[in-house]
Structure 1
Amino acid sequence: MTAPPTPPNPPAPPESSPAPAPSDSLSDSGEARRPQRPRITELRLSAFAGHRGVRVPFGACTLLAGGSGCGKTTALRAYEALARLGGGAALREVFPDPLACVPDGARPDAQRRRGFRIGCTADGPEGPVRLDLAVQAEPGLRIVGERLTADGVTLLETALRDPGRRSVQAAWHTAGSAPVTRAPLPDDLLGTALLPLRVAGKTDGQRRVLAAAEQMVVALRSVFACDPHPDRMRVPVPTGSGRLLGGCDNLADVLWRTRVECARRHQLLITAVRAGCPGPVHDVLAEQLGDGTVRGVLDRGDGTRTDFARLGDGELRHLALTLVLLTGPGVLDLDAPGEVPPAMRTLTVLTDGLERALDPRQRTELLRLAARMCARGHIRLVGTVSDAAWAGEAPGVTVVHLNP
């Protein structure tokens, strides 16, 4: 999986039973059809923190495995960074400490510049589309090179021409009277995400650029980074937040909503929670308190209720991650592309330390649920684990071992 090391000073980037996922379906001719839901199928860490020349492939349900220091969390952080850039976030918001992303041992060049390179591939109706990004971390944080390619054709390419200007020179595929269109773009935003606002779509070439850019942006924006914090889930919370936060702090309030909105999904949640919590579980619900807040409780079915404050870390993390896997963008706190029909979206859940605080039964049941939900095609999971020996034989699970 790991290629030879790349130079430390990066230049511009180089060129019931679940239904089968759309990518597994066949056309009338018997050939596999292109997936209709855009999704990220590969992460490239060309020169990022401790990684050099690393390619991380993703299946529907993927575990990044390895001991402490192998870079599992770093890889997940790079994925989330690309997702935020695809959503329109500025570079400084995404990389508040950019020097931490510079490859280990990288030396500044003659102009005292250092940086890092990351990229990804999004598959979908347009086929595989590659995005490669070169970021300068010092002396100033900026995007110095971006390339969007498909089928060997460069659809967008940017380069820093004048270090004194806060812009890069961009050229995108036109295939009309002029082969490319050139214009400046900001050096702190992802150019691919800006293309729908800049490209007219009058020629076949322009329409191809738009389709590829939109596929990449949709795949990146449909990401929910989740790291449940049990200590916060034990405390009563105000009502009205509506969407589940990444730390699952407001789990009780979201349960108040989901229990009413979808009875079938709530029954699936109860069934899954029974597998992760000892003792009988008749219901999982939010209980309103006199001060206007709500707390989460387990209804034991015999007239007693167990407050979330009395549950262990493993029980709460299992419950929270189960709820995430059984819900969707309308329940989770993410900025899903509203212009894209829900049937064309794939939600990707990122979670660091998937097995943290879980006992063997909890982690096995959680992974089994994840694989089952991911097989349906509308959700994907990328999680990190220290040791995947317990998960290596699970059907539908891709294990990627990262080496330090």
Structure 2
Amino acid sequence: MTTTRDETGRPDRPTVTELRLSAFRTHRGTAIALGPLTLVTGPSGSGKSSVLEAFEALARLGSGAALGSVFRDPAGCVPERAGADAQGRRGFRVGCTVDGPAGPVRLDLAVQAEPELRIVGERLTSRGQTLLSTALRDPGRSTVQAAWHTAGTVPVTRAPLPDDRLGTALLPLRVAGKTEGQRQVLAAAEQVVLALRSVFPCDPQPQHMREPVAPLRGADGGRLRRGCDNLAEVLLRTRTECAIRHGRLVAAARVGCQGPVTGLTTEELADGTLRAVLARGAHLHGTPVGRLGEGELRYLALALVLLTGPGVLAVDPVAEVPGAMQTLTVLADGLDRALDPRQARELLTLAAEMCARGHLRLLAAVGDAAGAREAGATVVDLRP
């Protein structure tokens, strides 16, 4: 399945198409165009991880998270050598563009890191028109003054919003949608929020993937967590739900894992926990994945992420929006970390295949982008 477009030529599913790090850590004036498969490369210290960090921060704010829970070290996000103003204030700026049925919508955010963490400015624009703007008017209050487009008898509505939340994410609760202007604001805000909430940051942790896992019950059962420590639980689910994709995962394991691999299964231990096992041909007993090396474990986890979807990965679902109208974006820092060239090539091939189908989008930082453009990837080189 590929991304479809409506009669106006716009993508029918909200998608983040540009990430801006106007002033964030080592970045100043950085704008990164995002394709279905985007790889960020460059030497150590060039800011690869910062790109993914900024995207994840926007995603969490779009999901309604408080500013303090998103930026644990806000002073570290301020560009080096950035001086303070007369009031001793220092900060950083990030933003993104989301394309979709409402057209390209820009979100730009200014955050004060010192002397206290707060949002001091936010702007939501579409087709050159400002739909929402906020500004810090009274430093003694924990609010910003917001103004959003109304286009009714009153052209602009003004009201205070909390200075520790993304105003765009609050608009659906504040805007009535009675006028054409209000409906325009709502469509733009909902498009941005939908795209940002459909993000899965992936960071496989082999040291936590070696132990058997106790299956969870309820809504979170069988959903892959960020560190992929519950890989066995998710394998149990995917084997029964989609034999085709599970077969593709086994084929990937056959390429990226040592020795003959004929299957990938799970077994329940005496205490009720599960462990994942590589089947080895005619051997009576397979190899528990806990015995694999770090590279093999990361490879298996990343392949599983690429072959699953929003219903399996632990993302914040938008229940009122059909899955067909959502695009999942996976963030992977160090996609090729601990992988040998053969594993890295196979993972890139798999990523290109799934992204081309419109199954997901991938933004990843890599140490080596060799062959990426040939695979159809957008490569962002941060070398100075």
Look up the match of 1:361. 342
Q: Tell me the amino acid that sits aligned with residue 156 of structure 1.
A: L
For residues 182 and 330 of structure 1, what CA distance do their matches in structure 2 show?
Answer: 39
Check conservation: 2:132, 2:147, Cα contact below 8 A: yes
For residues 176 and 292 of structure 2, what CA distance do their matches in structure 1 show?
Answer: 56
Look up the match of 2:3. 21
Look up the match of 1:209. 185
Deviating more after overlay: 94-103 vs 267-276: 267-276
Note the 1:113-262 alignment, pairs <5 A.
113-240=89-216, 241-262=221-242
For residues 87 and 347 of structure 2, what CA distance do their matches in structure 1 show?
Answer: 50
Measure how far apart 1:282 and its partner are: 1.9
Look up the match of 1:106. 82
What whole-Å deviation, never above 9, does each CA across 1:228-252 have from its counterpart, x for those lacking one?
1112111111122421111101101
Gaps of 5+ in 1: 1-18
Look up the match of 1:323. 304
Look up the match of 2:31. 55
For residues 107 and 400 of structure 1, what CA distance do their matches in structure 2 show?
Answer: 29
Gaps of 5+ in 2: none
Look up the match of 1:314. 295
- State the superposition RMSD in angstroms: 1.3
Q: Tell me the amino acid that sits aligned with residue 22 of structure 1.
A: T
Deviating more after overlay: 223-232 vs 343-352: 223-232
Check conservation: 1:297, 1:306, Cα contact below 8 A: yes
Measure how far apart 1:373 and its partner are: 0.7
Q: Secondary structure at the match of 2:365?
A: strand
User: If the length of structure 2 is used for normalisation, what is the TM-score?
Assistant: 0.96
Measure how far apart 1:316 and its partner are: 1.2
Measure how far apart 1:59 and its partner are: 0.4
Check conservation: 2:310, 2:328, Cα contact below 8 A: yes
Count of paired positions: 379
For residues 373 and 386 of structure 1, what CA distance do their matches in structure 2 show?
Answer: 21
What whole-Å deviation, never above 9, does each CA across 1:171-214 have from its counterpart, x for those lacking one?
00011111111110000000000000000000111000000000
Q: Tell me the amino acid that sits aligned with residue 310 of structure 1.
A: R
Measure how far apart 1:130 and its partner are: 0.2
Deviating more after overlay: 197-206 vs 266-275: 266-275
Look up the match of 2:256. 276
For residues 203 and 378 of structure 1, what CA distance do their matches in structure 2 show?
Answer: 36
Sequence identity percentage: 68
Check conservation: 2:206, 2:298, Cα contact below 8 A: yes
For residues 65 and 32 of structure 2, what CA distance do their matches in structure 1 show?
Answer: 24
Check conservation: 1:67, 1:387, Cα contact below 8 A: no
Check conservation: 2:3, 2:12, Cα contact below 8 A: no
Check conservation: 1:289, 1:295, Cα contact below 8 A: yes
Given the alignment of the two structures, is residue 349 of structure 1 paired with residue 324 of structure 2, yes or no?
Answer: no
For residues 55 and 295 of structure 1, what CA distance do their matches in structure 2 show?
Answer: 43
Check conservation: 1:145, 1:158, Cα contact below 8 A: yes
Q: Tell me the amino acid that sits aligned with residue 119 of structure 1.
A: G
For residues 262 and 248 of structure 2, what CA distance do their matches in structure 1 show?
Answer: 12
